[in-house]
Structure 1
Amino acid sequence: MKYKTLACIYILLLTIISIDAQTNTGNFEKILQKNSNEIKLKTTKATVIVELCTPSIIRVRTSWNHTFLDNENWMVSNYNWHNVPHKLTETDTSIKIHTEHLKVEINKTPFSIQFFDKDNTLLSSETNKGQNYGGFKNESKVGSTKHLKANEHFFGFGERMDFLDRRGKKVELNVGRGLGRPHITGAYNVLEANYSPIPFFMSTAGYGLFFHTAYPTTWNMGADSNNRYSFYADGGELDYYFIYGPTFSNILDGYTSLTGKSPLLPKFALGLHVGTYSGGTWGHEKHTSTDYVVNLAKKFRALEIPLDILHLDSTWRIFGKSGGKGATTFEWRNTFDNPDQMFSDLYDLNLNMVGLHLRPRFDNGKTLNLLDQAREKGHVYPEENSLGEFVNFFDEKAVDWWWKNGVKTIADQGAMFLKTDEGSAFGRKANESNKVGPQGEGVKALHNLFPIAYAKAPYEKFQEYNGIRGMNHTREGYAGIQRYPFIFAGDWPSEWQYFEPVIKAGLNIGLSGVGNWAHCMGGFEHIADPELYIRWCQFGLLSPIAHLFGMEHPNYKEPWSYGDEALQIFKQYDRLRYSLIPYLYSHSYQMYTTGIPLMRALVIPYQNDVNVYSITDQYMLGESLMICPVTQKGAKTRVVYLPEGQWTDYWTGKIYEGKKHYNVLSPIDQMPIFVKEGAIIPTQVPVNYVGEKPIDHLTLDVYPTASSTFSLYNDDGKSLKYQKGDFNITAITLQVAEENIKLDIEMPKGDFKSEEKTYTAKFHLKEQPDHVKINNKKYHINETEQVSFKDGILSVSPEISNKEVISIIII
């Protein structure tokens, strides 16, 4: 008993010491300055700036030394805001700031901040039942503690493989994979994987919070308390944006208005991407060749497997004298006889883009001593005990030199993009060596920014050089990485245990403002069993970016390596993907304008349905398609949850009522897919590559169980003209009433002059209707090829193009 008492006293003393070491903001003293959108306040211990960015976004900055950092442009891309109309009132106890959508109430003693919506509903508070929280500083750490509501749940935090709902969890955010060997408890640790952490969350209470810092952060979302949550950074200042929704869609729009929207990729980037080790991987480099690469593309074409993009991974180049596998020489391995001809042959096979893998360190090769030259010119980031090896991507002159002397040499040969690997190695142990790169306090704030600078450089350089939209393929990221798409989930083995965590990664990164995302379908390392390969590829081909790549030797992840069944199912889903390109491209434009990702955790559209908070193996692809991957070996059925509304089984046409769980069949060739009520899904005839032939006819799959609209987007598919308004949108409206169903297809509106299109509308119905009117002309069912009914589908093919309005009424 004596020792227990002493232990309790010791813990109490530690707590008191900890509290004493932590400095809060004190009490309000005075308003220092008011100008347009900014209010500067002095407290007894700090200076606080409240900035009104929009009526729904408030920036709060706190400095205990009364100075503030300059605005940076790596994470946040927008600091220029229009004047926000607001009203400020001050009383003896508080300061209140009203905008159109928010009310900010600042309590003077002690200083604390509350956020309310316009109806005076409390959204977020720094006080609760006499407890005062708010901003704090503890040595170099800066952070804030806020009240945790009873029914509040949190989503976001970047590409996490561990959990979806973060309530009651603690998480540390700092770019990098798990460390340690064996890999199964080190690099393959789903709890530690942090390829693209993002210090941002969305709360079901109707707000989001973006912690604007590049330092490592720690978030305690109620792990040790039901009344409070907290977050802090290992340095810098306390700087966060409060973003009001109340919907997750509005919050994502707000967050990406700060950190940037995802630009449109070239349209062909929605096609299949394939990576290759060119015939040999680690230890088998001698097997690489140009012939292997060209023959690989030929085989995809011969088997009529649609393909648009190819990249050559790390074995295309020799490993250098200093960095080995972890650095880049820009010199081809001697097994590649004629790289120029290889690129020419690949483009003759109608690949739309071919790219190369590299790492961020310079290295000396046999003839190009780029590392020595870069060191001499000061274009590498200095390290404590060496002259440095990392390209200084934070310096424009270094980037220009890297491009001119390294990347442009391969661009001139035919490479059109890069796969920028090992972005986490700056200031941290690398995958392919024991090197850690630059160290020190200054690097701590740059480590998380490095992946952004690393992706930005080739994205912009190739965009200018190619004269079309940029594309960069990268593994690591941080807040703002969505501006330089796309990102992939990293090196997860071909094991069933990693399949669902990768799905979780896609959901979490989408909840964090990054929509152009991919993964190595089939898994990256190890040989997959054919069933896992099929199931993973089904998911991969209905992911935002479809990326096929793995490092097993000699088969890799090519579909013909897994048997005839795997090959046929791969082709089936690849062709399904290509047929959905009009649907996917329209949603890509929606993502560009609103920040809503293509791959949507169910909590985005169904924020108030607690049943979806823990669903980590279902998602919406766009607005209308629910994708339900099968992640259990040998499963012939799986349980799905269908939210409110009516849902149609894509394969059978069976209609299900929502707000229920169902056990559905899932034969090996059928990943469960459900179509949302009112869906309008534009599809095209599958092609072998985007641009193979003009798409002059579209099919609209219509599920008329509810009224809806669809905006069909179109532009030239390659240029940046869309950013200046050179596009058009075709509005498609479905009206469902008791007496009839009406579908209106408007003429395209916008500056882009698109080719003439015709349409077939396929209405998925329970029973055959009486007749159909097309622009008021009456047609009886099955009396003409224009109007036919079979197996529950009414096909209507008006002999009218998009040069005039098309109106279809089903009676």
Structure 2
Amino acid sequence: MQVATSSGKYSVKHYPDTIQTWKKEGNYFYFYTSTTILELRVISDKIVRFRYAADGQFQRDFSYALSEKLEESPEYFEIREWADSFEIITTAIRVFVARENLRITITDIEGRIINQDETGFHWQYYLQKGGKIVYCTKLIQEGESFYGLGDKPTDLNLRGKRVENFGTDAYGYSKDTDPLYRNIPFYYGLHNGIGYGIFFDNTFRTLFDFGKERDDVSSFWARGGEMNYYFIYGPELLKVAESYARITGTAELPPLWALGYHQCRWSYFPDTKVKDIAKTFRDKGIPCDALYLDIDYMEGFRCFTWSKEYFPDPKGLLAGLAADGFKTVVIIDPGIKVDPDYPVYQELVQKGYACKRADGAPMEGDVWPGKCVFPDFTDPKVRDWWSGLFKDLTANGVRGVWNDMNEPAVFELGTFPEDVRHDYDGENVSHRKAHNVYGHLMSKATAAGLKKHLMPHRPFVITRSAYSGTQRWSSVWTGDNIASWEHLWLASVQCQRLSVSGLSFAGSDIGGFIGEPDGELYTRWIQLGTFHPLMRTHSASNETGFDQDPWSFGPEYEAIVKSFIQLRYRLLPYIYTTFWQYAAYGTPMLRPLAFVAQEDPETHDLNHEWMLGDSLLISHVSEAGMKSKSVYLPEGTWYYYFNDQRFTGGQAVTVPTPLAEMPLFVKGGSVVSQYPDMEYVGQKKIMEMILQVYHGEGTTHSILYEDAGDHYAYKTGQYNLVRFKQTSDAQQFRLKKKFVGRYDMDYTHHRVRVHGLPFTPKEYILDGAVQPLLPAHFVQGVVELHLERKFEELILR
């Protein structure tokens, strides 16, 4: 087959021919055709890597995405030879390699097809750029849906779409804009109740087609590098997500304050403005933990400096903010101003750490400071140097860093020219290979520096650009969005997609970065952000000087906004527990309904109904003036959060949407842990943990994770796991609590609030002792009991 190139010349597409020989080395299998080698590696019973050498020579086996903890652990595997194929079998799957052309078919043990090549692996020589364009095409199964691939601003189900990974500064993007900031080459397939994933670990510009060109074929390809992908079998989608995290790594627990509310603007300056913002939060009693300083805190936009005019005493300012409960996060971009009197520039150039053009000249481009050079973060020496630059910032009291413009973005060029050279940990490559990991490695170096210089505190990093594995050290946000209802809808979809793509610690610029929202839009966005792992308002400066703060839209909106930020803080134990599940197992924090009820086809195309953790289902208000909304609930019992109205799942229900509420449901059988009201994390000792318990039929399980909320003692066992088991029916409610751990929490009591009882109990039995229920125990239809923390069993009957 010949394919036309832009120059008018033709490049032939090449395909493997017949397998001539094969060999096995441990859990590696090699299949040789006349020119091509397939390396098949059995990592576990459900994870297999496929790697192809088109011309019989593998490239360096190196990845910035993989976790250092990835281990090979197959329980069992063997190979069988058939007339037309080789079969490699594990306890979970069968992998068939066709003798004729290396085409792959993967089935479960019963023989049901999970994933199947169409033409499979093939390639063509990249005549203009060098190297090869490598392809893999697969058959789309009947009714198949596709998910993942990071921050794509489009429908959650990617069926019928083509998307691209090439980190791009997409200022003011809109629905279906592609590519965007992040480069996550990982997707899910779901058909016939079977879920699987494919992680295409290739840092070149990559593309994915899910039936757009041909409606029965999906494909992925890269304009350079190797065809190197991991196949992950579920069959549950959440298990696929956890296996992907096993490959690319899990997040560390953040400081608890990072899960509070963040306030940001381009820009709060001078220092008196920052103090006024902080004072207003405290005077109004609106909870807030983090304030951000954008580029105007610097001296002429020089990174790692402070403006002498606007911030003459940064250490004193940050100490004062800390005394009032605020953590300060500052922006750091990759562009280093060309200035012979600027020490960071001097070091960067003298040490030879700046990116260079092909002829050896420094890579120069304009960003905020003017003419800049850029560190080569693919060089480990540069990453170590960069990490050391954070010493002075942390000494001044900085507790978090915001990496922006790191796609990398360059004003007049868009990004780096392709001839820019990178060390790539000793490989020496062009920017074509390094582009998609530039921001990934910048944030890695930033996180390493903060971790070193903030010890024993946990660092907080937020980055705009990322590659697979960035979740190990950073959070992300969805980029330069717009104050519009469309972007509110996009924020919901993008954060769900990021979550199932391994990057759960994500949020959007609440209210929109570009333009000004009205009070209704801002309020609805705050409501959505309440249930995103990262909750940050951020907006751009403008001619009117409008500040997009929680009190900016008048008393009516302020009261509602305040109530939802307060709800966020009450839910911190639940959110922190959900983050622990994500950190420990890789379980996404935000879970599209297709991921929690994949057997129900009604969930496969839902865009803005999702769960935060095990118990909360959210469907935000996404249109102006919406008075009610239809929400699909999966099987089970569900309670509307604001009035405890009970619904049976497996159907769509309609709920009113007054401005002070949003569609928020709690799964029956859940125990949702809550804090009393607070204005910031650590404001006061928590003396009572509230347990909101929702009646459910049968046996259900919930969990609470707790530790100090900062420091690293949890890694040596200083944490608690509290497991709840509810066994209830129409006549009796029973809650058992099992406590395991070595962390001494402050609180001594639980306030247990039992919702949705289908009967009126007369007594309660606490650890075997029978007590009467008094009128004071009934509060607005809820049974409320104040119990010692050490209780083990509660029965209502």
Question: Under a length normalisation based on structure 1, what TM-score does the superposition of the two structures give?
Answer: 0.90
Q: 1:626 aligns with which of 617, 626, 632?
A: 617
Once the two structures are TM-superposed, the CA of residue 483 in structure 1 deviates from its matched residue by 1.0
State the SS of the aligned residue for 1:744: strand
Q: What is the aligned partner in structure 2 of residue 323 from structure 1?
A: none
Q: What is the aligned partner in structure 1 of residue 423 from structure 2?
A: none
Once the two structures are TM-superposed, the CA of residue 359 in structure 1 deviates from its matched residue by 0.9
Q: What is the aligned partner in structure 1 of residue 571 from structure 2?
A: 580
Q: What is the aligned partner in structure 2 of residue 354 from structure 1?
A: 328
Q: 1:637 aligns with which of 628, 631, 650?
A: 628
Q: What is the aligned partner in structure 1 of residue 368 from structure 2?
A: none
State the SS of the aligned residue for 1:45: coil
User: 2: distance between equivalents of 1:193 and 1:630?
Assistant: 27
- 1:435–1:254: structure 2 CA closer, same or farther, 3 Å change rule? closer
Query: 1:53, 1:84 within 8 Å by CA — same for their partners in 2?
Result: no
The one-letter amino acid paired with 1:603 is A
User: 2: distance between equivalents of 1:338 and 1:444?
Assistant: 43
Q: What is the aligned partner in structure 2 of residue 775 from structure 1?
A: 767
Q: Which runs of 5+ in 2 are unaligned?
A: 126-131, 364-372, 420-428
User: 2: distance between equivalents of 1:768 and 1:193?
Assistant: 57
The one-letter amino acid paired with 1:332 is S
Q: What is the aligned partner in structure 2 of residue 283 from structure 1?
A: none
1:456 aligns with 2:444: yes
User: 1: distance between equivalents of 2:507 and 2:479?
Assistant: 9
Q: What is the aligned partner in structure 1 of residue 279 from structure 2?
A: 298
Deviates more, 1:194-203 or 1:788-797: 788-797
Q: What is the aligned partner in structure 2 of residue 613 from structure 1?
A: 604
Q: 2:24 aligns with which of 31, 34, 38?
A: 34
1:437-491 CA-to-partner distances (Å, cap 9, x unmatched) read 3522711111111111011111111111111222101111121111122101111
- 1:582–1:254: structure 2 CA closer, same or farther, 3 Å change rule? same
User: 1: distance between equivalents of 2:387 and 2:219?
Assistant: 43
1:68 aligns with 2:68: no
1:809 aligns with 2:790: no
Once the two structures are TM-superposed, the CA of residue 368 in structure 1 deviates from its matched residue by 2.2
1:623-677 CA-to-partner distances (Å, cap 9, x unmatched) read 1111121111111212211121221111121111212222321011111111112
Deviates more, 1:88-97 or 1:633-642: 88-97
Q: 2:234 aligns with which of 235, 239, 245?
A: 245
User: 2: distance between equivalents of 1:13 and 1:713?
Assistant: 58
- 1:670–1:112: structure 2 CA closer, same or farther, 3 Å change rule? same
Q: 1:314 aligns with which of 288, 291, 295?
A: 295
Q: What is the aligned partner in structure 1 of residue 367 from structure 2?
A: none
1:758 aligns with 2:744: no
Once the two structures are TM-superposed, the CA of residue 523 in structure 1 deviates from its matched residue by 1.0
User: 1: distance between equivalents of 2:682 and 2:586?
Assistant: 27
The one-letter amino acid paired with 1:215 is F
Q: What is the aligned partner in structure 2 of residue 675 from structure 1?
A: 666
User: 2: distance between equivalents of 1:411 and 1:64?
Assistant: 49
The one-letter amino acid paired with 2:725 is T
- 1:540–1:496: structure 2 CA closer, same or farther, 3 Å change rule? same
- 1:125–1:399: structure 2 CA closer, same or farther, 3 Å change rule? closer
Query: 2:387, 2:450 within 8 Å by CA — same for their partners in 1?
Result: no
User: 1: distance between equivalents of 2:534 and 2:321?
Assistant: 21
Query: 1:532, 1:633 within 8 Å by CA — same for their partners in 2?
Result: yes
1:591-613 CA-to-partner distances (Å, cap 9, x unmatched) read 11221222221111011222222
Query: 1:510, 1:601 within 8 Å by CA — same for their partners in 2?
Result: no
Query: 1:329, 1:363 within 8 Å by CA — same for their partners in 2?
Result: no
The one-letter amino acid paired with 1:659 is G
The 5-angstrom pairing of residues 85-104 of structure 1 reads: 85-104=76-95
Once the two structures are TM-superposed, the CA of residue 433 in structure 1 deviates from its matched residue by 4.8
1:338 aligns with 2:313: yes
Once the two structures are TM-superposed, the CA of residue 138 in structure 1 deviates from its matched residue by 1.6
Once the two structures are TM-superposed, the CA of residue 73 in structure 1 deviates from its matched residue by 4.1
Q: 1:548 aligns with which of 528, 537, 557?
A: 537
State the SS of the aligned residue for 1:166: coil
Q: 1:416 aligns with which of 399, 416, 419?
A: 399
User: 2: distance between equivalents of 1:694 and 1:12?
Assistant: 68
- 1:545–1:20: structure 2 CA closer, same or farther, 3 Å change rule? closer
The one-letter amino acid paired with 1:307 is C
1:437 aligns with 2:416: yes
User: 2: distance between equivalents of 1:448 and 1:164?
Assistant: 23
The one-letter amino acid paired with 2:211 is G
1:390 aligns with 2:377: no
Q: 1:230 aligns with which of 219, 225, 234?
A: 219
Deviates more, 1:725-734 or 1:526-535: 725-734
Q: What is the aligned partner in structure 2 of residue 200 from structure 1?
A: 186
Once the two structures are TM-superposed, the CA of residue 373 in structure 1 deviates from its matched residue by 3.4
Once the two structures are TM-superposed, the CA of residue 580 in structure 1 deviates from its matched residue by 0.6
Q: What is the aligned partner in structure 1 of residue 384 from structure 2?
A: 400
- 1:341–1:11: structure 2 CA closer, same or farther, 3 Å change rule? closer
1:264 aligns with 2:253: yes
User: 2: distance between equivalents of 1:369 and 1:654?
Assistant: 63
Question: Under a length normalisation based on structure 2, what TM-score does the superposition of the two structures give?
Answer: 0.91
State the SS of the aligned residue for 1:562: coil
The one-letter amino acid paired with 1:396 is P
Once the two structures are TM-superposed, the CA of residue 720 in structure 1 deviates from its matched residue by 2.4
User: 2: distance between equivalents of 1:401 and 1:13?
Assistant: 46
1:595 aligns with 2:576: no
Once the two structures are TM-superposed, the CA of residue 332 in structure 1 deviates from its matched residue by 2.0
User: 2: distance between equivalents of 1:400 and 1:292?
Assistant: 35
User: 2: distance between equivalents of 1:496 and 1:530?
Assistant: 12
State the SS of the aligned residue for 2:539: coil
Q: What is the aligned partner in structure 2 of residue 285 from structure 1?
A: none
- 1:366–1:781: structure 2 CA closer, same or farther, 3 Å change rule? farther
User: 2: distance between equivalents of 1:581 and 1:30?
Assistant: 58
Query: 2:298, 2:307 within 8 Å by CA — same for their partners in 1?
Result: yes
The 5-angstrom pairing of residues 704-783 of structure 1 reads: 704-706=695-697, 707-746=699-738, 748-755=739-746, 757-764=748-755, 765-782=757-774
Deviates more, 1:390-399 or 1:584-593: 390-399
State the SS of the aligned residue for 1:620: strand
- 1:361–1:697: structure 2 CA closer, same or farther, 3 Å change rule? same
User: 2: distance between equivalents of 1:402 and 1:213?
Assistant: 26
1:112 aligns with 2:86: no
Q: Which has the higher strand share?
A: 2
Query: 2:390, 2:453 within 8 Å by CA — same for their partners in 1?
Result: no
Q: What is the aligned partner in structure 1 of residue 653 from structure 2?
A: 662
